[in-house]
Structure 1
């Protein structure tokens, strides 16, 4: 049996191109504007090639159909993202009312369709009122095709294997939900009559916009699902500062360095150069009565570690700049 080997040229094309600088200079986050049709894992794969390192990870999965803010960590930024909780998120979405689907979005099998009579009986105000009922602290059942784990398996994997998955409700907070255009669609270009509504949502982490579409459709008795979803912010990261994969392929660069992103995501505690050296060696500092996690920043602006105070110690939960690392 003969084996074909890639040519040197092919090997060169397959090998990630290293971005110049030391590990710490290459560490930080990239705010990617995820395109539709790619999983978040697909984006990480492309980013590894673009940034020239396998140390790449993301924070906050987006569905393949969704676009918008996906925060990607590079080098030490990957470990840093494990400590970041993006408590609130913002989305722009389009909801179709008139059919329910297995996945609560347009990619799933249609489970039911409303009659033309039921759709024509609805008014625009009915629809706006149903969305208004989704605002506040609510109990929400996550979509069956979410990434939530059941006995070690992701729910979406079980659904695709034919299992009937119904996840328990859990509390989420919808801070605001603004309804934009609402219109009834019934023309030759549409496969079936339906209502369409655009919404802007500001919500807590863990809120499913697909579930909002489903629940509004259920409340109105006609079924509902998402046809478009775009995340416009995740915590302190905004779509305005995002870059596309094409832009990154042309000019690989961080959106925020490790120093910048640590100071943005956490309250800052200014420390001395001597304290910076202690933290880089894994030592702890005297507490200052600070609550929650905070970033320890040296006089030269370098973020050394994330600290959490407990008792008589302000100890590191993440050391960004270990001694000896450049």
Structure 2
């Protein structure tokens, strides 16, 4: 079996995904632009949406399962007047309804939007990546199956009305949302229309933050290159949200062999001397391991032989 050659780039990168391509398309394009086979992403973004995507390159692909990205922020355009089978502008119209004139009243719209803040039980769109019996829901929906997904709890952390505009016989609300992981803005739009005695769908969406990563940290997909990726690499410690512990060359040699480290390593970080505490071990501005204190020693959970760049302590 041929041995995989070491990656030349090992880092996390923020990419501003353009409208019209899938998250898989972004990964395929980056593989070519960066000349790296190992590229993956954390958090899918619909083809009709744009904005923040967190991408792992090389060894950093191993971090993607550990990145929680617990909250995300968006600017959404919600169009009233009809629903679609996908709950966005890409789908076929399934229901039309009159738009009450009061929905053009900015005060009414603002108050309605602010009332969305809180926890809700949300039924995800049938056209979603949720697995049903081992098959993606959107594949079943495209095949003409009736897909019924169970409701799940989500949280709208903040919701702020930005604009109200007339559009034909309907109207469009532009809203800034911050929501918990797993929240579908398409479903928020659908349910908002129904709650107001009308119908609605999501007509545009831009993700402005994903976890701690903002649009200002992202590069344009077309600009991606190895040099720019190194220059604009995200700090993996900050993205993971774990404390950092600097180690010297002797400790690094032990880390690369997977050896346990003495708790003396944490003498200046007593808050980490709690069983179960997780941390990033950093050397020479690179993430070299994710470790955990087990009550007796610092134990390696993930070791990165090549080191993941971008660390800024």
TM-score (norm 1): 0.83
Q: Is the 8 A contact 2:73 2:178 kept in 1?
A: yes
Distance in 2 (alpha carbons) for counterparts of 1:122 and 1:270: 56
Please point out which of 258, 269, 294 is paired with 1:310. Answer: 294
Q: Is the 8 A contact 2:82 2:201 kept in 1?
A: yes
Moved more, 235-244 or 54-63: 235-244
Q: Is the 8 A contact 2:104 2:166 kept in 1?
A: no
Displacement of 1:228 in angstroms is 0.5
Q: Is the 8 A contact 1:24 1:321 kept in 2?
A: no
Distance in 2 (alpha carbons) for counterparts of 1:211 and 1:310: 42
Misfit runs of 4+, over 6 Å:
none
Distance in 1 (alpha carbons) for counterparts of 2:42 and 2:204: 21
Computed over aligned residues only, the root mean square deviation of the Cα atoms, in angstroms, reads: 2.3
Displacement of 1:55 in angstroms is 0.5
The residue that corresponds to 1:189 in the other structure is none
The residue that corresponds to 1:57 in the other structure is 40
Paired residue secondary structure (1:214): helix
- Residue ranges of structure 2 left out of the alignment (5+ in a row): 264-271, 308-313
1:113 aligns with 2:89: no
Moved more, 241-250 or 87-96: 241-250
Change (3 A) 1:255 1:221: farther
**Residues 98-153 of structure 1: CA deviation (Å, up to 9, x unaligned):** 111111100111111113xx533545244333322321122211111111111111
The residue that corresponds to 1:83 in the other structure is 66
The number of aligned residues is 292
- Residue ranges of structure 1 left out of the alignment (5+ in a row): 1-21, 187-192
In the TM superposition, 1:109-188 aligns within 5 A as 109-115=92-98, 118-120=99-101, 122=103, 124=105, 125-186=107-168
Change (3 A) 1:312 1:251: closer
The residue that corresponds to 1:208 in the other structure is 184
The residue that corresponds to 2:311 in the other structure is none
Q: Is the 8 A contact 2:260 2:300 kept in 1?
A: yes
